[in-house]
Structure formats: structure tokens, C-alpha cells
Chains A and B, each alone.
Chain A
Amino acid sequence: MNHDQLVIAGKAFNSRLFTGTGKFNDQKTMVAALQASGSELVTMALKRIDMQHKEDDILAPLIKNGMNLLPNTSGARNAKEAIFAAELAREALQTNWIKLEIHPDPKYLLPDPIETLKAAETLANKGFVVLPYVHADPVLCKHLEAAGCAAVMPLGAPIGSNKGIKTAEFLEIIIEQANIPVIVDAGLGAPSHAALAMEMGADAVLVNTAMAVADDPIAMSGAFAKAVQAGREAYLAGLGGQSQVAIASSPLTAFLEAG
């Protein structure tokens, strides 16, 4: 039995690896990869469908595999659109959980802090479990916590960039100050990046692109699962401090000086 559960808004998770469903080559690979990841919370998007080209039914296999769904508001460019998207997602998926993401600029997909805070306040008041995707901004994260968000999702690097954790110093401050779970989202391109986030004390990470675009997405998802677990165990074990100079691991024995 796992005693190290993560609890968000009263829901307990055994896995601290959350996953996205985008960019996989096909649905069969996606489902197998998500299973290999051990993830219990998966993100998805909502789209106004093109009547000419209907999309695959993504929902059925996820529900069949017992995944909890975390719809996002991707595509929203301001608070008003995000609130509308959240309400649509609640209708479509019958969940009040929402990954709030508002990124007006398609080049870097960086989240808009002002619109995100506005939307978070409204959605929390409407009873949503709000998980906002934000820049690694400690002050903003405190505001979002005060607004009633269930967790914060600061970024490591731009979405899909696979660059790893470029915001480490600020993530550390966010983690130190937060009274709600901190989920490092976006930019994690290798299992070592995920392990680093967990060693720093993140409560969970969210990974999508790095799994989906790997040569072998299923094996990569398994590798991420191990890295997240190892990072978490290292954090709980308490990492040793760093030093500028060497500190001998073996006693410097007397024979070196013997003459």
C-alpha cells in the first residue's frame, strides 16, 4: 500500500506523474503509453468540431482504463474564453476539474498571468477545481492560491520544447511557499528533468510531448514513471548539502604520511 499519496481537492493519487493525451501517433499507442506511465490523471482538450472531418472518440478508452480526466482550456486567449471553455468542458466530461491555460501567443504559448488570475477567481467561485498553468512566478502562485485554486502548475520551459527545467530557482521558491500542490508542467523533455523536479520537492509533474514523440512512447512513459518515483523517494530521503570543496568519503589514512 502506498502511504505517500498526493491529495488534490480531496482526491488521492498514487502516481505523481500526470500525462497529456496529445501528439501520439495513434490511439492504441496513447493508451498503452498512459498505462505504462501509471498515470491516474490525464489532460485533454475541447474543440469546436469540424463537421467535415470528425475526430476519433478519445474518451471511451480513457474511461475504460479508469483514468481521471483533466480537461484544459487550451485555445482560450483571455479569461472570458477560458471560463466559457471550462463550462463547456464540465458539460462535455461531467467533471468540475479544469486545467486553466490561457496563452494568447502561439509562438511561445506562454501563459497570460493577468487573464489567468481573473479566470481562476471566477472559476473557483463557480465551484471548479482549478489547476492553472502559469509561469514560474512565486507571487502569482500565491495569488492563485488565495483565489482558491486546488494546485498550481508552473512551467519548466515552453510547452512542447523538451528543454527541461529552465526555471529552477523560481520553482524552488514556489514550492517553499505553497500550501497547495505544485505540479511542474511543460518543457520536461527527459526522465532526468522529471526526476529533478521531484527532487526539488514538486508534488507532481505533467508530461506529454516527451512521451508522445519518443521513438518508443510506451518505453519512454515507463522511464518517466521510474524517474518520478526515484525523484520523489530522493526528496523524501533528504538530499545531502552541496559544498564548493571536496569532502573525503574515505578517511585520509595515516599511511600516506608514513615514511
Chain B
Amino acid sequence: MKIDINEQSIEIDEKSNIEQLLVRLDSPLKGSAIAVNQKIISRSEWAHYQLKENDQVSLFQAIAGG
């Protein structure tokens, strides 16, 4: 199925959860935050939260800043 992540369209397996998505993207779990359709999904829910077709996923990460 197709989802958008940070405005880029990607194909993922049906019934993927957020944790599986981050692993697939090779993205660090630490220092990351996720919103699905503008709603922040808490880290404790990542392993259970099943993504759906056309979900808009935003992935945020800690970067250097003042």
C-alpha cells in the first residue's frame, strides 16, 4: 500500500506499524517523533499503530540548534 512520508510517496507492506516503517527507512528510533495525519503518535504506541493506505506521515528528528 502507499503512504506519504514527509511529502514523499512510498510503498510499504500492508498492516505495517510505525516501528516497522522506521526500520524500513533505516531511521533512528531515538530522537525521533512521528505524527500521522497531523496527530502525534506516542512512542509507546509505535509497535501497535497500524498504518493505513494514504496516511500522511511526518517524521521529525532532533538536529543541532541554538
Who on chain A is nearest to B26 by CB? Answer: A54
Q: Which residues of A contact B32 (CB under 8 A)?
A: 92
* A-chain residues with CB within 8 Å of residue B25 when the two chains form the complex: 51
User: Which secondary structure characterizes the binding site on chain A?
Assistant: mixed
Residue of A nearest to B65 (CB): A45
Name B41-59 residues within 8 Å CB distance of A: 42-43, 58-59
| A46 & B63 in contact (Cβ 8 Å cutoff) | yes
Query: Would you give the 0/1 interface string for B1-23, flagging 1 where the beta carbon is closer than 8 Å to chain A?
Result: 00001101000000000000000
User: Given A88-B33, A92-B33, A72 and B58 touching (CB < 8 A)?
Assistant: no
Does A30 belong to the interface (CB within 8 Å)? yes
- Quick check: B65 and A43 within 8 Å, CB to CB? yes
A32 to B66, CA, bound (A): 17
Q: Point out the residue from B8, B62, B66 that lies within 8 Å of A58, measured CB to CB.
A: B62
Q: Which residues of A contact B5 (CB under 8 A)?
A: 51
Residues of B within 8 Å of A91, CB to CB, are 33-34, 40, 42-43
Task: Mark A residues whose CB is within 8 Å of B.
Answer: 20-24, 30, 43-51, 54-55, 57-60, 69, 71-72, 74, 84, 87-89, 91-94, 159-160, 206, 208-209
With A49-B6, A51-B8, A88-B40 in contact, is A30–B61 under 8 Å at CB?
no
B51 to chain A, nearest CB (A): 16
Question: B61 — nearest CB in chain A belongs to which residue?
Answer: A49
Smallest distance from the beta carbon of A127 to chain B beta carbons, Å?
14
Chain A to chain B contacts (Cβ below 8 Å), 12 pairs = A23-B64, A43-B65, A46-B33, A49-B6, A51-B8, A51-B25, A58-B63, A59-B30, A72-B65, A87-B40, A88-B60, A92-B31
Closest chain B CB from A98 CB (angstroms): 13
The 8 closest A-B pairs by CB, nearest first: A45-B65, A20-B66, A208-B66, A92-B33, A91-B33, A59-B31, A88-B33, A21-B64
On chain B, the residues within 8 Å of A21 by CB distance are 64-66
Given A91-B40, A91-B43, A49-B60 contact (CB < 8 Å): yes
